[in-house]
Amino acid sequence: MIANLAIKLYIKQIRFFYFYFMDKKELRAKYKAARQQLSDDEIDSKSLAIANQLLELYVWKHTYFHLYLTIGKHKEIETEYILQILAGKDKEVVVAKSHFENCTMSHFLLTDNTKFIVSEYGIPEPFDGLEVPVQKIDVVFVPLLAYDKHGHRVGYGKGFYDKFLSECRTDTVKIGLSFFEPEDQIEGIFEGDVTLDYCITPERIYAF
C-alpha cells in the first residue's frame, strides 16, 4: 500500500514537472507558433504598448543603448517605436552586424549616414560605420522567443546574444522584450547563461 502510494506521488511529480518546465527546443516551437497567430495590427499595437511601458523604467540616465532591428518574417516586436523614443531623448543608438561563421556580432553607432543591407537571413544590418566597443554599451534590448520568472531567456539558438551579453559590463542593463507572459521555469539553463534584468510586455514590466 505504502509502495503504491509512493509510486503514484512520483508519477504526479513527473507530470507536474513536465507540464510546467519545458525545455528550450519545445519553447522555441511553442512561441514561434504563437507569434504566427498574431495579426499585423496586433503586432503593431502590442509593440507600441511595450514602448510605452518602457518609459516607466529608470534607465534614461544612460547614454549608449543597443537596439536590435526587427526581422519582419519572424513576427518580432516592432522596435521602431523604441527607436523613436531613443531619438527623442537624444540617446546614442548602437546596432549589430552578425557574423554567422563564428556566431559573433560587431556593433555600430546608428547615425543619419548609416547604410543598411538585408542579410541573406533577412536581418537588416549596418553596412559599415563607427564601431562601438562592447564596454561602452549601457543598455541592451534583448530579442527572445521565451523567458521565465527568473530572467532566463530562450533565443533562436545560435548563441549570438549569449556571447555578446557575456562580454558586456556587469552593470549593463539587459532588457528583454516579449509579446507574452513568462514561463514558470525553463529547463536546460546553463551556468554561463546571462539573465535579464527586466522583460517588458504590453501589460507590465517584469524585474528580475
C-beta separation of 180 from 34 below 8 A: yes
Q: Check residue 17 and give its pLDDT.
A: 46
What average pLDDT does this structure show over 75-88?
97
- Number of Cβ within 10 Å of residue 66's Cβ equals 27
Helix axes of 40-54 and 80-88: crossing angle, nearest 10 degrees = 30
**pLDDT band at 158, cuts 50/70/90?**
confident
Quote the cell numbers at residue 53: 511601458
pLDDT band at 76 (very low <50, low <70, confident <90, very high): very high
Class of domain 22-207: alpha beta
- Average pLDDT for 59-87: 96
What residues does each domain of the chain span? 22-207
**Comparison of pLDDT for 2 and 149, the residue scoring more:** 149
Confidence of residue 9 (pLDDT cuts 50, 70, 90): low
